[in-house]
Structure 1
Amino acid sequence: MRRPVTPLLAAVAFASCFGLPYPAMAAPEPPRLTVMVAETDTMGRVLTDPNGRTLYRFDPEGSGTVTCVGPCTDTRKPLLSPPGVELRLPPGIAGTLGTVPRPDGGNQVTYDGFPLYWYTDDVQPADTNGVDLFWHVINPRNAPVPAGKRS
């Protein structure tokens, strides 16, 4: 039984018969970054989620244990990762991403052991309204200057 000839296979066969270069194959897209880096007006360079929302850590969760559950998550939303998705930092950023299971379900992304959250009252990308006595932005080590911010 003969298989149908696909357009790509036909183009490769044509090119090889006449000594032409093979058609270019599109490179696969790299996996999406889990976190990004943004420049803020008051806190320097901070980690953000892919939508530009500033990410925070909660001091009592330093051991990687999730304690912000229930009403706490009304304003502090966990950064979740679907199972099997590769966690990726921007190039040049030091630190380690991981996940920790949440008591209320799902896997929460961690940075250097701290579970990550975004704050609902941050309206614009890189807002830092969620900083208080126990909640802090994450200033990653070795963070390059974001594009468009070089002086």
Structure 2
Amino acid sequence: MVNKIKNSADGLALQVTKPARAADLVTENTEGAASRWAPVRVYSFHEYLLVVDRECVSDEDTAALVQALSEYTDSIFQAMDSVVQIAGNGYQVQLPPARDAGLEKDDRASAEPAPGILVIHPYLSEAESVDEITVGIVDLRRDQFE
């Protein structure tokens, strides 16, 4: 899912309605109203953000994901606690360390879900919407989850 990074009251954010649902970062009741928003931590790397559900992803699994993304990108910057919140008719995630990753307002970014995580990266093109690094992190998380 591709959206533009935007300003919000709390800084930069990305609309992530479908990916957040797919990653179980939001739980909705039978009427479609959110009944749980995951407390998340956003890790920043060169051109990548890793959004992790702090309640559902173990510290060990988180460390493995962070290590892998750090090795893939030869970088690691800061990590900050954040929130998934209602925005319009959907959900957005606040991205406090986005600028560390080189992402700015109006940049197009893709959010790829896996259980308890989102991998956010710059959108390149339809043909390259999911890159090798993102696939590697998503596959690692799916393996951890099984």
Q: TM-score, normalised by structure 1?
A: 0.28
**Which one has more relative contact order, counting CA pairs under 8 Å at least 6 apart?**
2
Please say which structure displays the higher CA radius of gyration: 1
Higher strand proportion (structure 1 or 2): 2
